[in-house]
Chain A
Amino acid sequence: MKDSGDYQPYSYFQLMEVSLRELLVEKGIVTEAQVASAVEDIRNITPERGARVVAKAWVDKDFRTRLLKDGTSACEELGLDIPALKLVVVENTAAVHNMIVCTLCSCYPRMLLGMPPEWYKSRNYRSRAVREPRAVLSEFGLHLNEKTIIRVHDSTADMRYLVLPMRPASTADWGEDQLASIVTRDCMIGVATPRAPRAVKPS
């Protein structure tokens, strides 16, 4: 397997990765091709997949209902390959804001959104998101109305969570692609909300 980039001695853990992989290949447990293919699949999983799901839910009321009832099946309807993902989608409303954390490790809907951000896996987020969600959200620049109820989900077991953010009112005439473009990863974790840039009037 070619490794592009600068040539430096392996760190202990990089050495472990290469050693483990070679042993597993020698023993016929995996092939280099399988690893390479899985790496490509991983590289291609980005939050845009989740954004597509959100945008579709925003424009299609029945899809939204199905999504909220069974997240995994609804994503599969869109042709998304999400092996082993048991997805629960939680919707933000004017009254309720959802926020996702995994205090015990870093459970995250990887098969839909890709790799979680470093801060999601950090001690500070995992410790404080359950206890002082408002303070944590304001550190992200999200200041919720006092009347809004916050619902924090600690993914402790088999389900994985995706926040369905509220659609900004100013996007009423937008198409799905445009809608998807404002749904960031952080919106789907629940530490941000979609921002619709002010429309530029044609001159």
Chain B
Amino acid sequence: MTSELPPGRGHHDMGGLLAGRVEPVEHDYAEWERRVDALRLLLSGIKGGRTLMTVDELRKNIEALPPDAYERMSYYERWVTSITQTMIQRGVITTDELGRKMEQIEKRGRR
């Protein structure tokens, strides 16, 4: 569905492309989405958090998502993925730590 972009144009860089009608959709934020936003603020050094990433790294990691993933994922799914990638890139957490924690939590079920 996404038309071929010229090489050197990022998928996120969509100003001026042809597109459809703007649907005035609203979104009721889920708690987990607010928590993603909270983590973003804190990790950016806002609201008393330690500065462990910049918004630029966050954007870069969102832009690095494959086009179909970018389209398919919701806004906060992209953000949580990007924040987590940034933490791995920064060495704050490792891939192994994340994998083990995700396994552990999944086994535990909802608290």
Residues of A within 8 A of B (CB): 1-5, 7-10, 13-24, 27, 29-30, 34-35, 37-39, 41-43, 83-84, 101, 103-106, 115, 117-119, 121-128, 130-131, 136, 139-140, 154
Contacts and interface: CB of A to CB of B under 8 A. Distances in A.
A127 B18 contact: yes
Nearest to B99: A19
Interface residues of B, number: 58
B16 A127 contact: yes
A178 to B, nearest CB: 25
A21 B34 contact: no
B52 A19 contact: no
Contacts of A101: 15
Nearest to B110: A7
A39 B22 contact: no
19 contacts: A9-B109, A14-B32, A15-B102, A15-B105, A17-B32, A19-B102, A23-B93, A103-B15, A104-B13, A118-B25, A119-B22, A122-B23, A122-B25, A123-B19, A124-B20, A124-B21, A127-B16, A128-B19, A140-B24
